[in-house]
C-alpha cells in the first residue's frame, strides 16, 4: 500500500473515531486556553503518517492543506478573516493559505468571555486574541521541532517562511505538510512565546476578506441555500398571536395541493412539507387552523408602555454608586430630570430564519445559520429525541445575525418534520413569519436626573433604568433576584464623567413577551438616554456640549482622545448654514468611540448628511473590516433611530414586511467617515458599539437645529420642523 | 413543461406556471445565488436580468418570462472576472453577503445603461437594493471603480 493511501486511511479513521482529551493550560493573565490533543490513531508498525492536529483549531495535512476550524459564526462582522489572521501571524503563513471550516459543537470551542460556544457580544476577537495566536504558535513550534529533529540541529537555527521550515543556510526546506507526520508525534507545548506586536506582518493589515470572492459570485452558502439529496421543503404556520398554540387543524385542502407530501404538527406550529418551497407555502395558506391565542392576546403598545412607567416608580437594583446622589439632588436648587422612551425593534436579518434537518434513527445532521452551536445541538437533540452526541450541527454563513441567531426557535420544526417524514427537510420562514415572530429588542424607559451646585458644577447624576432581563430567560438561575443583569446596564453603569455623586440603578420589568439580544443590546437603550441627557445638562449649564463633556472627562484619557478626534475631523462648531452638529461618546465592549452627526431639517424630517466616528479599539486586526463594522453599525443604528419600531396590538406585531418596517437604502445613507486611533492596547470589540451612539448624536443635533428635545424613538414619531 | 433560457442554456421546468421565477431558479434549477428577502419586490435580493433588464424575480411568474434570456449572478462570468465582480473584490464590499448578488446584478444593469454614472445616478438605480449590513458607501465606490475597469477594456 502506498504511503499516500495509508495517510488517507489514517486521516479518515481519525475523523470517524475522534475522541478528545482536554488539557487546560492557563496562559498569561486571565486567559484560559484549552488545548485539545487528539489521541494517536492505532499505530501501524510501518511508517504511518498521523494527521497533525495539535489543538482543536488547526489541522495540517500531509498534502500541505492547513485547515482552521473557526469556532465563531460569520454574519458579516468578518471573523472568517480576522480569526485566521491571528493563526496565520503566529503559524507563519499567508492568511489565504488557511482553509476555513466552521467548527462543530464542542467544549474546546467555548467562548471564555461568554461561558458557552456563542458568537456575540463583540467578543470574537477578544476571546481569540491570545487563544488563537497560541494555537498557531503551538503548531509552529512543533513543526520547527520536527524539522530540527529531522536535520539534527537546534530549533533556534531554523526559520519559518510561507508554510515551510528553512535551515539557517537556506539550503534545506521542508513544508508543513512534509513535517506534519513527525510533528504529530511530538508533545503539545503548554507555553509558547508569541510574536512581539512590533513584528506583526499579518495583523493590522487591511487585506481582502477570505469570503469576499464567494460572496460576489453566488457560491457562498447560507442556511437558505443548503441542498441535500431527497430534501423536501416546509413552510410553517405559526400562531398569529405570539406564544399561542394550535387548537385544531383541518389540513384536507392543504394535503390535496400539488407537491404536498405531509402536514406535520410540530412544537412551533403546523409544517406543510412539499417537493418545493413554493408548493409548501401555497399549501400552508389553505390550512384551516384554530388557534388558542393565549395570554399575550391582551398585549398591546399601551399595556407595554404603562407597564414600564409603573415599574419605573419602584426602586431599582444598584448598578453603580458613588457618593450619595439622592441626597445631593435633594439639597440642590438646580435639578433637571427627563425621561426617555425606547421601542421594540426587529432584527430583520435579510436572510429569513431557516433550518435544514436530516434525522435518521442513529443520528441527525442539522444545517443552520446559528450563533450558538451547542444550544442548537441541544434544541435539535430535544426535538429529535436523540442524545446530543448524535446531533451534528453544520454552521453555514449567516445572512445577517444581529443577535437573532442566538435563538434556536427556528430549529425544532425542521427536526420534527424530518423525523416524521423520514427525509431531510428545510424549513424556511417567509419575511412575514420572520417579522411577526421575532424575539424583539426590548422596549425600555429610562429616567435621568442631574443636579448642579451653586457654582453651576454638575454634582449629581442619577440614571434609573427600567427594562426586561433577556438573560433571565436565556440562562435561568444566572440572574438571581436582587442582582443586576449586566446586559441591562451597559453604557450606564460605566458612567465616565467626573461627577462626585452617581447612582445608576435598574428595575427589572417583564414586558409580557419574550425579548432578545439585538446588536449592542442595552448600549443602544442607555447611550441614548445618557448622551441625550448630558446634552440637556450642558444646555442647562449654558455650556457647549463638547466643552461640557471634556471638562468632566479630564481623568478619562481614552474618551478624550476619541472625542477630540471626532470633533476635529467633523468640523464641529463650524457647520455651514442650515447644518447642525450633535455629539455622543461611549465605551462599550472594550472600545472607546465618539460620533459627530451632521444634519439638516427638511420638511419636518431630519436628514443625516454625515457621521464622523473616532474609534479607539486597541490593536486593530484588519482596519478595512473594522471600518466596515463602523459603517455597518451606523446604518443599523440610524435606521432604528429614524424609523424603527414594532407595534403590538392584540399580541401581534403589526409590521410584517419592509413596506412598514423601513430599512435604510443607498439614497438615504449618510457619508460615514471612520478614524481609527492608533493604540497598543488589547483589541476591543467592533461588531456592535457604533450602533449605540447614532441616536443620541442625531437627537443632539436636532436640538441645535430647532431647540426641541426628542426623548422617544424613533424620530419619525415626531414632527421636527 | 415550461421552457426557459437561463444563463445561455435552454432549460425545462415542470413548476406551476404561476411559480415566481425566483423559486424556479433556486429550488428547481439549483441556482441559489439569487436570494429571497421579502417576496414583495421591496428588497432587491432576488434581482436577475431578463433580456438584460433588472427584474425582481420574486414577483415574476415563470410563465411570464417566455423566451427572453434570464441571467443570474452565476451567469455573469465563470470566474469572477466581470468588471463589477472585480471591483467588488478590489474594494472588499460584502459583509454578510446575502444582498450582494442582487446588488451586483443591479449594478451591472446600471452600467450597461450609464457607463459613467454619477453618484445621483447610482443612488437612484440602486435604491431598490437593501443592504442590512449597510455596505452602501463601498457599493457606490465599487460601481465607480467598475465603470473605470469597463472603460479601460
Exposure b/e, B42-74, CB count within 10 A at least 16 = b: bbbbbbbbbeeebbbbbbbebeebeeeebbbbb
User: What are A599's strand-pairing partners?
Assistant: A580, A608
Indicate whether B68 and B6 sit together in one domain. Answer: yes
Residue B11 three-state SS:
strand
The whole-angstrom separation of Cα A427 and Cα A351 is 13
Residue A297 three-state SS:
helix
Of B39, B122, B127, nearest to A431 by CB-CB distance is: B39
Of A233, A352, A631, nearest to B134 by CB-CB distance is: A631
- List C-alpha distances in Å: A105 to A69, A501, A566, A574, B135: 11, 47, 42, 54, 31
Of B80, B98, B140, nearest to A350 by CB-CB distance is: B98
Can the peptide bond before residue B58 be classed as cis, meaning omega within 30 degrees of 0? no
- B14 interface with A at CB cutoff 8 Å: no
Of A212, A214, A667, nearest to B92 by CB-CB distance is: A212
The whole-angstrom separation of Cα B78 and Cα B94 is 19
With contact defined as beta carbons under 8 Å apart, do A695 and A520 qualify? no
CB contact under 8 A, A657 and B40: yes
Q: Tell which of B51, B74, B97 closes a domain.
A: B74
Interface of B with A in 50-69 (CB under 8 A): none
Of A209, A258, A658, nearest to B130 by CB-CB distance is: A658
The CATH number linked to B57 is: 3.10.20.30
Cell numbers describing residue A262: 405531509
Indicate whether B43 and B100 sit together in one domain. Answer: no
Residue A265 three-state SS:
strand
Indicate whether B91 and B61 sit together in one domain. Answer: no
Total-model pTM:
0.94
- List C-alpha distances in Å: A700 to A77, A568, A705: 29, 18, 9
- B17 interface with A at CB cutoff 8 Å: no
Which residue of chain B comes nearest to A687, CA vs CA?
A: B133
Backbone angles phi, psi at A364, to 5 degrees: -145, 140
Instruction: For chain A, give the mean pLDDT.
Output: 93
Cell numbers describing residue A649: 396590538
Indicate whether B88 and B147 sit together in one domain. Answer: yes
Exposure b/e, A199-219, CB count within 10 A at least 16 = b: eeebbeeebbbbbbbbbbbbe
**What's the distance, CA A244 to chain centroid?**
29
Indicate whether B67 and B11 sit together in one domain. Answer: yes
Handedness of CA B28, B30, B35, B37 (dihedral sign): positive
Percentage of chain A modeled with pLDDT above 90: 91
Indicate whether B35 and B89 sit together in one domain. Answer: no
Which residue of chain B comes nearest to A664, CA vs CA?
A: B130
CB contact under 8 A, A658 and B77: no
With contact defined as beta carbons under 8 Å apart, do A466 and A311 qualify? yes
Provide the pLDDT for residue B141: 98
Provide the pLDDT for residue A1: 44
Q: Which of A216, A284, A402 to mutate to test the interface with B (most CBs of B within 10 A)?
A: A216
Label residue A501 by pLDDT band (50, 70, 90). Answer: very high
Provide the pLDDT for residue A22: 28
Backbone angles phi, psi at A87, to 5 degrees: -65, -50
Interface of B with A in 92-121 (CB under 8 A): 92-101, 104
With contact defined as beta carbons under 8 Å apart, do A528 and A341 qualify? no
**Complete DSSP assignment for A215-259:** GTTT-SPBGGG---TT-EEEEEE--SSTT-EEEEEE-HHHHTSTT
Provide the pLDDT for residue A35: 35
With contact defined as beta carbons under 8 Å apart, do A660 and A601 qualify? no
Which is it for strands A501-508 and A458-467: parallel, antiparallel or unpaired? parallel
Task: Catalogue all structural domains in chain A, each as residue range(s) with its CATH number.
Answer: 3-201 (3.30.365.10), 226-294+353-428 (3.30.365.10), 314-345+440-717 (3.30.365.10)
Domain hosting B40: range is 2-74
Which residue of chain B comes nearest to A275, CA vs CA?
A: B27
Indicate whether B89 and B34 sit together in one domain. Answer: no
Of B23, B32, B76, nearest to A225 by CB-CB distance is: B32
Q: How far is A218 from chain B (nearest CA, A)?
A: 4
The CATH number linked to B138 is: 1.10.150.120
Q: How many CB pairs under 8 A join A and B?
A: 179
Backbone angles phi, psi at A243, to 5 degrees: 85, 5
Handedness of CA A324, A329, A332, A334 (dihedral sign): positive
CB < 8 Å to B138, chain A: 628, 631
Provide the pLDDT for residue A302: 97
Provide the pLDDT for residue A557: 97
The whole-angstrom separation of Cα B97 and Cα B78 is 19
Look at residue A27 and tell me whether its pLDDT is greater than 80.
no
Indicate whether B66 and B89 sit together in one domain. Answer: no
Provide the pLDDT for residue B153: 62
Interface of A with B in 541-580 (CB under 8 A): none
- List C-alpha distances in Å: A539 to A78, A542, A707: 40, 5, 10
With contact defined as beta carbons under 8 Å apart, do A297 and A648 qualify? no
- A673 interface with B at CB cutoff 8 Å: no
DSSP state of A270: E
Q: Average of pLDDT values for A636-653? A: 98
CB contact under 8 A, A667 and B34: no
Q: Tell which of B34, B50, B74 closes a domain.
A: B74
Which is it for strands B2-6 and B69-71: parallel, antiparallel or unpaired? parallel
Indicate whether B66 and B94 sit together in one domain. Answer: no
Exposure b/e, A660-686, CB count within 10 A at least 16 = b: ebbbbbbebbbebbbbbbebeeebbbb
Which is it for strands A354-360 and A458-467: parallel, antiparallel or unpaired? unpaired
With contact defined as beta carbons under 8 Å apart, do A602 and A633 qualify? no
Provide the pLDDT for residue A39: 37
Among A673, A700, A678, CA closest to A548: A700
Percentage of chain A modeled with pLDDT above 70: 93
Provide the pLDDT for residue A49: 61
CB < 8 Å to A669, chain B: 134, 136-137
Which residue of chain A comes nearest to B103, CA vs CA?
A: A216
pLDDT tens column, A442-491: 999 999 999 999 999 999 999 999 999 999 999 888 888 889 999 999 99
Indicate whether B124 and B141 sit together in one domain. Answer: yes
pLDDT tens column, A407-434: 999 999 999 999 999 999 999 999 999 9
Strand ranges across the sheet with A334-342: A317-322, A501-508, A458-467, A444-452, A334-342
Indicate whether B49 and B100 sit together in one domain. Answer: no
Indicate whether B67 and B88 sit together in one domain. Answer: no
Which residue of chain B comes nearest to A77, CA vs CA?
A: B95
Residue A443 three-state SS:
coil
Provide the pLDDT for residue A603: 85
* Total tally of structural domains belonging to chain B: 2
Provide the pLDDT for residue B43: 98
Block mean pLDDT (10 aa), chain B, length 153? 96 96 97 98 98 98 97 98 98 98 98 98 98 98 98 79
- A397 interface with B at CB cutoff 8 Å: yes
Amino acid at each position: 500500500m502506498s504511503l499516500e493511501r495509508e495517510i488517507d486511511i489514517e486521516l479518515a479513521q481519525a475523523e470517524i473515531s475522534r475522541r478528545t482529551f482536554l488539557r487546560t493550560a492557563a496562559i498569561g493573565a486571565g486567559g484560559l486556553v484549552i488545548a485539545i490533543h487528539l489521541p494517536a490513531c492505532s499505530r501501524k508498525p510501518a511508517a504511518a503518517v498521523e494527521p497533525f492536529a495539535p489543538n482543536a483549531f488547526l489541522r495540517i495535512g500531509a498534502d500541505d492543506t492547513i485547515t482552521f476550524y473557526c469556532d465563531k459564526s460569520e454574519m458579516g462582522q468578518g471573523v472568517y478573516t480576522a480569526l485566521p489572521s491571528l493563526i496565520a501571524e503566529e503559524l507563519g503563513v499567508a492568511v489565504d493559505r488557511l482553509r476555513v471550516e466552521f467548527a462543530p459543537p464542542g467544549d474546546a470551542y467555548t467562548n471564555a468571555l461568554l461561558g458557552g460556544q456563542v458568537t456575540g457580544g463583540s467578543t470574537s476577537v477578544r476571546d481569540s486574541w491570545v487563544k488563537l495566536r497560541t494555537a498557531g504558535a503551538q503548531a509552529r513550534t512543533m513543526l520547527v521541532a520536527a524539522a530540527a529533529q529531522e536535520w539534527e540541529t537546534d530549533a533556534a537555527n531554523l526559520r519559518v517562511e510561507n508554510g515551510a521550515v528553512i535551515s539557517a543556510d537556506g539550503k534545506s526546506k521542508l513544508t508543513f505538510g512534509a513535517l506534519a507526520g513527525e510533528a504529530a508525534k511530538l508533545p503539545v507545548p503548554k507555553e509558547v512565546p508569541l510574536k512581539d506586536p512590533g513584528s506583526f506582518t499579518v495583523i493590522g493589515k487591511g487585506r481582502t476578506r477570505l469570503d469576499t470572492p464567494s460572496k460576489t459570485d453566488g457560491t457562498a452558502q447560507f442556511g437558505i441555500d443548503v441542498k441535500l439529496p431527497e430534501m423536501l421543503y416546509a413552510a410553517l404556520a405559526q400562531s398569529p398571536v405570539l406564544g399561542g398554540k394550535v387548537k385544531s387543524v383541518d389540513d384536507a385542502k392543504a394535503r390535496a395541493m400539488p407537491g404536498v407530501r405531509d402536514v406535520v404538527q410540530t412544537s412551533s406550529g403546523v409544517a406543510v412539507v412539499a417537493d418545493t418551497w413554493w408548493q409548501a407555502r401555497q399549501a400552508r395558506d389553505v390550512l384551516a387552523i384554530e388557534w388558542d391565542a393565549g395570554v399575550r392576546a391582551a398585549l398591546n403598545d399601551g399595556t407595554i408602555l404603562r407597564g414600564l412607567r409603573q415599574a419605573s416608580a419602584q426602586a431599582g437594583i444598584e448598578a453603580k454608586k458613588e457618593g450619595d446622589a439622592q441626597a445631593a439632588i435633594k439639597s440642590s436648587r438646580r435639578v433637571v430630570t427627563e425621561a426617555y422612551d425606547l421601542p421594540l425593534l426587529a432584527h430583520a436579518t435579510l436572510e429569513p430564519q431557516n433550518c435544514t434537518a436530516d434525522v435518521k434513527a442513529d443520528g441527525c445532521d442539522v444545517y443552520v445559520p446559528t450563533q450558538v452551536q451547542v444550544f442548537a445541538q441541544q434544541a435539535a437533540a430535544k426535538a429529535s429525541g436523540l442524545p446530543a452526541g448524535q446531533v451534528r450541527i453544520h454552521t453555514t454563513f449567516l445572512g445577517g445575525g444581529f443577535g437573532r441567531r442566538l435563538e434556536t426557535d427556528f430549529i425544532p420544526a425542521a427536526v420534527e418534520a424530518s423525523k416524521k417524514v423520514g427525509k431531510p427537510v428545510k424549513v424556511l420562514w417567509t419575511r412575514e413569519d420572520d417579522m411577526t415572530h421575532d424575539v424583539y429588542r426590548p422596549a425600555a424607559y429610562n429616567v435621568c436626573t442631574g443636579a448642579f451646585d451653586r457654582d453651576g458644577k454638575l454634582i449629581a447624576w442619577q440614571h434609573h433604568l427600567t427594562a426586561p432581563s433577556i438573560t433571565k430567560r436565556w440562562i435561568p438561575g444566572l440572574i438571581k433576584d436582587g442582582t443586576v443583569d449586566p446586559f441591562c446596564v451597559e453604557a450606564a453603569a460605566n458612567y465616565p464623567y467626573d461627577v462626585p455623586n452617581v447612582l445608576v440603578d435598574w428595575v427589572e420589568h417583564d414586558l409580557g413577551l419574550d425579548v432578545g439580544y439585538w446588536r449592542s443590546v442595552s448600549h443602544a437603550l442607555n447611550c441614548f438616554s445618557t448622551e441625550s441627557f448630558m446634552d440637556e445638562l450642558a444646555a442647562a449649564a449654558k455650556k457647549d456640549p463638547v466643552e461640557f463633556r471634556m471638562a468632566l472627562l479630564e481623568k478619562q484619557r481614552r474618551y478624550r482622545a476619541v472625542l477630540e478626534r471626532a470633533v476635529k475631523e467633523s468640523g464641529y462648531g463650524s457647520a455651514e448654514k442650515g447644518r447642525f452638529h450633535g455629539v455622543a461618546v461611549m465605551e462599550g465592549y472594550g472600545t472607546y468611540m465618539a460620533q459627530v452627526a451632521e444634519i439638516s431639517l427638511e420638511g419636518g424630517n431630519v436628514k443625516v448628511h454625515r457621521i464622523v466616528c473616532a474609534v479607539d479599539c486597541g490593536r486593530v486586526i484588519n482596519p478595512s473590516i473594522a471600518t466596515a463594522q463602523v459603517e455597518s453599525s451606523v446604518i443599523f443604528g440610524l435606521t432604528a433611530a429614524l424609523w424603527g419600531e414594532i407595534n403590538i396590538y392584540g399580541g401581534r406585531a403589526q409590521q410584517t414586511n419592509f413596506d412598514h418596517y423601513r430599512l435604510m437604502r443607498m439614497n438615504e445613507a449618510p457619508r460615514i467617515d471612520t478614524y481609527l486611533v492608533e493604540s497598543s492596547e488589547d483589541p476591543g470589540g467592533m461588531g456592535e458599539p457604533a450602533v449605540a451612539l447614532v441616536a443620541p448624536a442625531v437627537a443632539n443635533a436636532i436640538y441645535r437645529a430647532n431647540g426641541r428635545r426628542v426623548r422617544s424613538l424613533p424620530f419619525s414619531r415626531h414632527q421636527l420642523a | 413543461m415550461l421552457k426557459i433560457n437561463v444563463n445561455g442554456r435552454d432549460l425545462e421546468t415542470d413548476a406551476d406556471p404561476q411559480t415566481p421565477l425566483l423559486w424556479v431558479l433556486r429550488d428547481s434549477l439549483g441556482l441559489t445565488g439569487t436570494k429571497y428577502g421579502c417576496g414583495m419586490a421591496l428588497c432587491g435580493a432576488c434581482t436577475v436580468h431578463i433580456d438584460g433588464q433588472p427584474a425582481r424575480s420574486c414577483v415574476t411568474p415563470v410563465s411570464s418570462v417566455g423566451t427572453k434570456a434570464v441571467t443570474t449572478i452565476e451567469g455573469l462570468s465563470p470566474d469572477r472576472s466581470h468588471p463589477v465582480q472585480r471591483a467588488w473584490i478590489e474594494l472588499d464590499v460584502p459583509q454578510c453577503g446575502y444582498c450582494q448578488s442582487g446588488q451586483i446584478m443591479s449594478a451591472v444593469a446600471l452600467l450597461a445603461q450609464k457607463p459613467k454614472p454619477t453618484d445621483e445616478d447610482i443612488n437612484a438605480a440602486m435604491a431598490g437594493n437593501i443592504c442590512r449590513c449597510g455596505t452602501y458607501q463601498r457599493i457606490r465606490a465599487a460601481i465607480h471603480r467598475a465603470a473605470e475597469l469597463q472603460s479601460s477594456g
